[in-house]
Amino acid sequence: MSRASTDPASLAAPAAARAGCRSQVHSEAELAEAYAYCTRLARSHYENFTIASWLMPREMRPHMHAIYAYARMADDFADEEHDLAKLDAWENELDLCYAGKPRHPVFVALAATVRRYDIPREPFADLLVAFRSDINFRGFDTLDDLLGYARYSANPVGRLVLYLFGYRDPERQHLSDLVCSGLQLANFWQDVAVDLAKNRIYLPRADLARFGITPGDLARREVTPGFVDLMRHEVEVARAMLREGAQLSQLVDRRLRRDILMFAGGGLAILRAIERAGYDVFRSRPKLNKLDYLRLGLNAALGRLCP
C-alpha cells in the first residue's frame, strides 16, 4: 500500500467500499470487502499479526482485523508521519462511525463490529490520546506517569478483546490492564537501545535518579552496577504486574484463556531474556529463542502460565 493512501480523507479504497461510504446501508459484498481491506492492511504492517490473528476464534478474526487496522493506521500517522492533523481527521471518522455514517472502509467494517459486540467509543478514543502523546514525546517523570501512558496505549487493546468475548466487568478489565501494561513495560525494557536511537527514553526519570543513572550514561550505553540495579527493579515491577494479571485466564472462556497465557507468558519470557543477558540491553536486543516459544505454547495449551 502506498504512503499516499494513509490519508484518512482521501484514502484509496476498493470501489465497493468507496461507494458504500456514501450511504449508511452497506451490502454484504461491500461489508465483506471492507473487512478484507482491514485484513490486508493489518497483515501488511505487522509481522506478528498473523500469529495474533490465528489465536482468535475464527468467527472473531474479521472483527479483530478491523480493530487492528484502526489502531495500525492511527499509529502510522503518529509514529511515521508525526501528523496531528491526520489523527484529528481519524477521530472525526471515528465520530462518524458511532453516528452511523462510516465513510472510510476501515470504519465501515468497524461500525459492524461495534454494533455486533456493543463496543463503546472510549477504548478507540483512548488509543488516539496515546498516539498524540507519541508525537509530543517528552519522557516520563515517574512510573505512575509511564503507567498513565500505558492506560491509553496498551490497556484499550485488552479491553477491546474482552468486549469481543462479552466481558464488561471491572474485575476482568483490571486484570487485563495489568497484563497489557506489564507486557508494554517488558517491551520497553527489551527495546531500551532501540528507543534510545530514536531519542526516546521510557525509563522514568525518578528511577534513573534513584539508581544514579544520567542521560549521558545511557547515551554511552554503559552497563554499570547502577544500571543493572535499575533494570532489575524495572523487570521485577513488570513481572509482578504480569503474574497478577494472568489470573484473568481463570475468569474467561477457554478460547481466550490460551491467548492470555500466551501474552502474559510472552512478557515474562522477555523479562527472563533480559535477565539472561545480565541486563545488558545495549549489546544486543534480548529476544525469545525457540525453546522459549516451545515452552510458551506447551504451557498455554495445558492451561498454565509459563514460569
Cα gap 232→302, rounded to integer Å: 30
Q: What is the pLDDT of residue 81?
A: 76
Q: Are residues 89 and 122 in contact, defined by beta-carbon separation less than 8 angstroms?
A: no
Instruction: Give the CATH number for residue 81.
Output: 1.10.600.10
Whether residues 268 and 148 share a domain: the answer is yes
Calculate mean pLDDT across residues 186-214: 97
Domain hosting residue 151, numbered range: 137-307
Q: Is a pLDDT exceeding 50 seen at residue 293?
A: yes
Last residue of a domain, one of 94, 109, 136: 136
Whether residues 143 and 58 share a domain: the answer is no
Q: What is the pLDDT of residue 255?
A: 87
pLDDT tens-digit readout, 130-180: 999 999 999 999 999 999 999 999 999 999 999 999 999 999 999 999 999
**This prediction's pTM:** 0.89
Last residue of a domain, one of 115, 136, 157: 136
Whether residues 142 and 62 share a domain: the answer is no
Instruction: Please state, rounded to an integer, the average pLDDT across all residues of the chain.
Output: 89
* Sequence letter at residue 200: R
Calculate mean pLDDT across residues 282-289: 93
pLDDT tens-digit readout, 241-265: 999 999 999 999 998 999 999 999 9
pLDDT tens-digit readout, 26-82: 788 999 999 999 999 888 865 444 445 556 788 999 999 999 999 999 999 998 778
Task: Classify residue 59 by burial, with Cβ atoms within 10 Å: 0-12, 13-18, 19+.
Answer: exposed
Whether residues 198 and 111 share a domain: the answer is no
Whether residues 110 and 180 share a domain: the answer is no
How many domains does one find in the chain? 2
